[in-house]
Structure 1
Amino acid sequence: MDYTWFFILIGIIVVFLLIISHIKATKKLKSFIINSFGKIPNQKKYEFESIESYHRYKKANTDDFNTIDSITWDDLDMNLTFKRINTCLTSVGEEYLYDTLHQVQMKEDILLEREKLISYLEDNADDRLKLQMSLAKAGKYNYNGIASFIFDAEAKFLKHNFIYNILTIIPVLCILLAFFDTQVGILCLILSAILNGFFYYGTKTKIERELSAIKYFSSILQCLDKIFKTKNYESVPFFSELKKSYLIFKPLRTKISDILQKDFSDMAVFAEYIKIIFLIDIRNYNKAIRMISKYSNEFHTLYKSMGEIDMAICVLSFRKSLPYYCTPVFYNENSIGFEDLYHPLLSDPVPNSGKISNDSIITGSNASGKSTFIKALAINGILAQTIHTCAAKELNLRFSLMITSMAVRDNISEGDSYFIKEIKSLKRILDKVQDTACTCFVDEILKGTNTIERIAASTAVLKYLHNIDCLCITASHDIELTHILNKEYDNYHFREHITDDGIHFDYKLKQGPSQTRNAVKLLHYMNFNSQIVDAAETMVDKFINTKTW
């Protein structure tokens, strides 16, 4: 009985089902991309150790004085800001966004190029969707190792490459020998295959992480191949550099596409034996590393250009997810002007408008909004100089490095007390302002020590900063500072409204120093014992009248 047509029919059905499955998967991906664009991203768990890999390598291998340091990053909860912004579709875009948010620009050129790309993506929704589809298929791969290839590719190259070449030639000689002496030739081929198998799996185990990186690089090349087959983007910022770099590495696409490929079909198993005998994966790995090392600058350009494109789509989505936004205006004046500025992480923010033209002290009651406001200023200053986007209707500022001293904590492992950590945090600011234009944000300066020394030391530090080319904005409970520094520092405050129902805050910035107190009143509203509240109020009144306890 002839089963030929039966098998042909089965084959047709399998192909048909595969096509239908591919169409469904493509539609599902397209629907996800369309529906999630312009929405607040889900707060999933992030592997920041992986995401920060490019930034970590770059920091270790380059000198740049305009980097947001780790203290400022933590003070401002910038990991949360990153998560709020990040909708990148590739690991390259995600890593590049993380680094970009650390790297403030001191000139407008790169920011304007980013803005041109973002504008193009906004005006050409169909092109943007095609790009998103291609990028999504490259996808994300934690600990992908691409960043290590940028800065340290040469170290990944397998030494004694000639050994692998010799081991590859031996099976060929064995096959030729078999034509003259079949038994000896086959025996030699078997022994050669066993020897090469040991080398193959031994080497693969040693370079498994690097092979994974090569595999992800292959998916990047396939993604770029699809992008440049779809349309010519020569006039769009960053695409020209990306294409030039891609064309250099394009020959590697087919050589490395099946490295680490897991396929258990009969043909795939046979192909795997061939790869083992002739060490194909190992030799292709070395070819890839040699090319990446030779064209390291172009490889870095490819990474950065692809990161810019993925990040630009992400920034556009972020903008559309905000209540409103603006692009910053930069000038030489040492001030910050803002209209309806808000904190981008708040779900129901209270916007503030004004202009801080001089070093300033912001006072106010507990929980009145001082810290949130200066964080909003600092975060928007960073976003303005990195992704050219501000959570405000208008933001005018000069190019400067944002640096903070806010959320100071004890460090038991280093043996540092709270106060030691505070003065170290302040010292790095005092060092940085010597050679870089800075905007400094300090929350509750030197609160880790006694009142007399805190006021004296704070006054000295703030006067010193006033005479340096920086803009210093500090939030404090110490009303004394507003009087001592009234010639050097402007004063602003936040105020509460007290009613029979409790204490209410409007979170609006106001001119002048604070004239109200609420710490003792909060004890009352939190139902502290009346004896405690009455005693505290008596002592406060006595201190105000006599300046003594």
Structure 2
Amino acid sequence: NSDLLNVIQKNIITDKKKASVAIKDLSKILSALDSRLNVIMGVILNSIFAWDIRQVYRMEAWKGQYAANFNQWFNSIGEFDALLSLANLQYNKVDWNHPSISDDNVWQITEMRHPLMAQSECVANDFSVQTMPFIKVVTGANMAGKSTYLRSVGSNLVLAMIGAVVNAKLMSFHPLQIVSSLRTSDSLMSGESYFYAEIKRLQMIVNRLKSGEKVFVLLDEILKGTNSNDKEQGSRSLLEQLIKLNTIGVIATHDLSLGNLSSLYPNAIENQCFEVDIIDDQLSFDYKIRPGVAQNMNASFLLAQNLKHNFQAINN
């Protein structure tokens, strides 16, 4: 009884004939034309009935009757297939929920999880933005959960904006186009280094913002391909530019110094972090986001542990 499904059904009916019936008619014409592949039958049919010419005329007649509707049929079938996928997602994910659309620039996600991770293995986190511009700067150690958090926000926003259920207890959002720099790669074929490819990606994002487009920005560990000083200065400059361009988004970084920007832009930047503990010479993660700048990092610990194991293996 859905109005949308009724419209789709009407779009696949032409001259009171369903698209499926018309396609079957075309299939019969093509099968008849294939009769000429049998040498004996081809000679008999063409010599007596001009078989190939008749079938070509039938195909042209079919084309004249249905060609104008062909794209509409496939678009309607594609739309129905997409709606079926959304319905299947809701049917299979009974613990997921429908998001609500906010008229204001408000984003609120409660107990958000990554849609592609098993519920039993995924730690829920919240996400909240109440104004624009607003940038969340997420710091934390390696493997603490920063990248997964960014992908959880982005993937749930995509699901929400296509009308699907989301992997969250509660979600309210304002629709925006999502742009990201999460997995940049270099290209030997085009002669682009990793750093240059990332610069081009970031420039694209800035240009879209300068054109007046409202977008939701997700950036994961930007400017990895340069030295620490350039990375810090470049990241700081980019954040300040994003704020001036009235941007909303999340940036994950290892640069703890970026947390100092919240004192300069207290209403536009919020520091959040994922922490790691070292217990009995082992790393311990809780994967829970919390306010502030990360206090514990683990790169030196991981390096020391791996070098220690490698030297032990060599000595043995």
Give me the TM-score of the superposition, normalised by structure 2. 0.82
User: Structure 1 residue 343 and structure 2 residue 110: aligned?
Assistant: no
CA RMSD of aligned residues (A): 2.9
Cα distance between partner residues in 1 of 2:186 and 2:205: 19
User: Structure 1 residue 368 and structure 2 residue 141: aligned?
Assistant: no
Alpha-carbon contact 2:102-2:173 (below 8 Å) kept = yes
Structure 2: gaps of 5 or more residues: 312-316
User: 2:229 corresponds to which residue?
Assistant: 452
Cα distance between partner residues in 1 of 2:54 and 2:308: 76
Alignment of 1:233-252 (within 5 A): 236-248=3-15, 250=18, 252=22
Shift of 1:313: 2.4
Q: 1:241 to 1:517 in 2, by over 3 A?
A: closer
User: 1:407 corresponds to which residue?
Assistant: 183
Shift of 1:241: 4.2
Shift of 1:356: 3.2
Cα distance between partner residues in 2 of 1:491 and 1:423: 24
Q: Pick the aligned partner of 1:515 from 287, 295, 305.
A: 295
User: 1:273 corresponds to which residue?
Assistant: 45
Alignment of 1:480-519 (within 5 A): 480-488=257-265, 489-500=269-280, 502-519=282-299
Deviates most, 356-365 or 397-406: 356-365
User: Structure 1 residue 317 and structure 2 residue 68: aligned?
Assistant: no
The one-letter amino acid paired with 1:388 is A
- Structure 1, residues 155-187: CA drift from partner, whole Å, max 9, x if none? xxxxxxxxxxxxxxxxxxxxxxxxxxxxxxxxx
User: Which structure's residues are more often strand, by fraction?
Assistant: 2
SS of equivalent residue, structure 1 residue 396: strand
User: 1:443 corresponds to which residue?
Assistant: 220
The one-letter amino acid paired with 1:290 is G
User: 1:133 corresponds to which residue?
Assistant: none
- Structure 1, residues 19-75: CA drift from partner, whole Å, max 9, x if none? xxxxxxxxxxxxxxxxxxxxxxxxxxxxxxxxxxxxxxxxxxxxxxxxxxxxxxxxx
Shift of 1:407: 0.8
Shift of 1:289: 3.1
Alpha-carbon contact 1:493-1:510 (below 8 Å) kept = yes
Shift of 1:409: 1.1
The one-letter amino acid paired with 2:10 is K
User: 1:199 corresponds to which residue?
Assistant: none
Alpha-carbon contact 1:352-1:509 (below 8 Å) kept = yes
User: Structure 1 residue 352 and structure 2 residue 125: aligned?
Assistant: yes
Shift of 1:529: 6.8
Q: 1:529 to 1:277 in 2, by over 3 A?
A: closer
SS of equivalent residue, structure 2 residue 180: strand
SS of equivalent residue, structure 2 residue 13: helix
SS of equivalent residue, structure 2 residue 115: coil
Cα distance between partner residues in 2 of 1:238 and 1:321: 21
SS of equivalent residue, structure 1 residue 445: coil
Alignment of 1:47-62 (within 5 A): none
The one-letter amino acid paired with 1:474 is I
SS of equivalent residue, structure 2 residue 229: helix
User: 1:479 corresponds to which residue?
Assistant: 256
Alpha-carbon contact 1:256-1:281 (below 8 Å) kept = no
Cα distance between partner residues in 1 of 2:235 and 2:253: 10
Q: 1:340 to 1:259 in 2, by over 3 A?
A: farther
Cα distance between partner residues in 2 of 1:495 and 1:313: 41
Cα distance between partner residues in 2 of 1:523 and 1:244: 62
- Which structure is richer in relative contact order (CA contacts within 8 A, separation 6 or more)? 2
Shift of 1:244: 4.5
Q: 1:276 to 1:491 in 2, by over 3 A?
A: farther
SS of equivalent residue, structure 1 residue 327: coil
Q: 1:259 to 1:497 in 2, by over 3 A?
A: farther
The one-letter amino acid paired with 1:356 is V
User: 2:75 corresponds to which residue?
Assistant: 304
Structure showing greater radius of gyration is 1
User: 2:25 corresponds to which residue?
Assistant: 255
Cα distance between partner residues in 1 of 2:252 and 2:150: 8
User: Which structure's residues are more often helix, by fraction?
Assistant: 1
Alpha-carbon contact 1:405-1:442 (below 8 Å) kept = yes
Alignment of 1:33-72 (within 5 A): none
User: Structure 1 residue 286 and structure 2 residue 60: aligned?
Assistant: yes
Deviates most, 467-476 or 269-278: 269-278
Shift of 1:253: 4.5
Deviates most, 513-522 or 327-336: 327-336
Alignment of 1:16-415 (within 5 A): 236-248=3-15, 250=18, 252-253=22-23, 255-261=25-31, 273=45, 277-293=51-67, 295=68, 298-322=69-93, 324-347=95-118, 348-357=121-130, 358-415=134-191
Cα distance between partner residues in 2 of 1:506 and 1:354: 17
Shift of 1:492: 0.5
The one-letter amino acid paired with 1:361 is V
Deviates most, 521-530 or 362-371: 521-530
Alpha-carbon contact 2:89-2:164 (below 8 Å) kept = no
Q: How many positions carry a matched residue from both structures?
A: 292
Q: 1:301 to 1:254 in 2, by over 3 A?
A: closer
User: 2:314 corresponds to which residue?
Assistant: none
Runs of 4+, deviation exceeding 6 Å: none
Q: 1:317 to 1:244 in 2, by over 3 A?
A: closer
The one-letter amino acid paired with 2:138 is I
The one-letter amino acid paired with 2:166 is C
Shift of 1:478: 0.2
Q: 1:425 to 1:497 in 2, by over 3 A?
A: same
Cα distance between partner residues in 2 of 1:437 and 1:525: 45
The one-letter amino acid paired with 1:273 is L
- Structure 1, residues 221-280: CA drift from partner, whole Å, max 9, x if none? xxxxxxxxxxxx6x542323432541346484553131443999xxxx969936862434
User: 2:204 corresponds to which residue?
Assistant: 428
The one-letter amino acid paired with 2:264 is K
SS of equivalent residue, structure 1 residue 376: helix
- Structure 1, residues 73-120: CA drift from partner, whole Å, max 9, x if none? xxxxxxxxxxxxxxxxxxxxxxxxxxxxxxxxxxxxxxxxxxxxxxxx
